[in-house]
A = this chain, B = another copy of it.
Amino acid sequence: MAENKLPQYKKLYESLRKHIVSGVYEEGSLLPSENELCAVHNMTRPTVRHALEALVQDGFIQKKQGKGSIVRKPPQDIGILSISGTSSAIGKDFLQTQILQKPEIMSWPEPFHFEISEVERDFGCIYMERLRIVNGQPVFYDINHIPNINLPRFTSRTFENKSLFEILRTQYQIEVKGGQQKLKALKADPKIGKLLNIKKGDPVLYIERKLFTNRENFNIYSTIYFNSEKHAIFGNF
């Protein structure tokens, strides 16, 4: 019993977030009013509002003056990176995730297409590769690097039903605060063509991203190849 060091508004945020994604509150319905939440959780309105603002910011609710807080699942632009998750990246088709490379500690690739800090380089990184498959067709190949800084027991965690980001946020208090990304349309080279099962020269969507977190010198780096023959990347933001 140690993690009770979280501020109250974050506890409420996590609680409401969990209830929203797990379906306790239906999409389109109203959250309890701010005053009700005050009473139930024994906090004041600014504190409750602080939590609700975070939910608005993350797209889980939409507030309307005079009415209330409307529940708005499914959010998460970041979904396309969740390790085995709900993923709003693609429609509602059946989606299967194949881990090509389980999280493993290694040194950073040299050269690396992003600039990394000395601190990050010194600690090494955790590396993983995934292939995502829809209806038997591979659509999504991604390569991820995260710095191996103060993440006890990380590689031994099971990532079943939990996204990488949820684990980082709830277990290690690491929150994604922003990022940079580069998008291109490329012709598939032989390796990518083979992985994604498309003809050489066919267009693939290429994404490079660096995600900043609330921890200094802790950025998440991803490279993504996407087969957009039959699907599109779909994002909410």
Interface residues of A (CB under 8 A from B): 46, 53, 57, 59, 62, 77, 177-187, 202-206, 226, 228, 232-237
B residues less than 8 Å from A183 (CB atoms): 183, 205, 226, 228, 232-235
Known: A57-B57, A187-B203, A205-B205. A182 touches B237 (CB 8 A): no
Residues in B neighbouring A236, C-beta threshold 8 A: 178-180
Which of B77, B181, B185, B232 is A204 in contact with, Cβ under 8 Å? B185
Nearest CB of chain B from residue A149's CB, rounded to whole Å:
18
A206 vs B53: C-alpha distance in the bound complex, in angstroms? Answer: 33
- In the bound complex, CA of A236 to CA of B179 (Å): 6
CA distance A186 to B204 in the complex (A): 8
Contacts of A178 in B (CB 8 A): 59, 236-237
Question: Measured between C-beta atoms, what is the minimum distance from A100 to chain B in Å?
Answer: 22
- A185→B228 contact, CB < 8 A: yes
Q: What residue of chain B has the Cβ atom nearest to residue A50's Cβ?
A: B53
Contact B234 A237 (CB under 8 A): no
Shortest Cβ gap from A231 to chain B (Å): 8
**Which B-chain residue is minimally distant from A57 (CB atoms)?**
B57
Beta-carbon contact of A234 and B184 below 8 Å: no
Of all chain B residues, which has the CB nearest A208?
B232
Identify 9 residue pairs between A and B in the complex whose beta-carbon atoms are under 8 Å apart, listed by A's number. Answer: A77-B237, A178-B237, A180-B237, A183-B205, A183-B234, A184-B228, A184-B232, A185-B186, A186-B203
Known contacts being A57-B57, A187-B203, A205-B205, is A182 close to B77, with CB within 8 Å?
no
Is A232 touching B182 in the complex (CB atoms < 8 A)? yes
- Contact residues in B for A206 (Cβ distance below 8 Å): 185
Chain B residue with the shortest CB-CB distance to A227: B185
Q: Measured between alpha carbons, how far is A184 from B139 in the docked complex, in Å?
A: 12
Measured in the bound complex, the distance between the Cα atoms of B88 and A179 in whole Å is 13
| Cα–Cα distance between A228 and B151 once the two chains are bound (Å) | 37
Given contacts A178-B236, A186-B203, A203-B204, 20 further A-B contacts (CB under 8 A): A57-B57, A77-B237, A178-B237, A180-B234, A180-B235, A180-B236, A181-B234, A181-B235, A181-B237, A182-B233, A182-B234, A184-B205, A184-B228, A184-B232, A184-B233, A185-B205, A187-B202, A203-B203, A205-B205, A237-B237
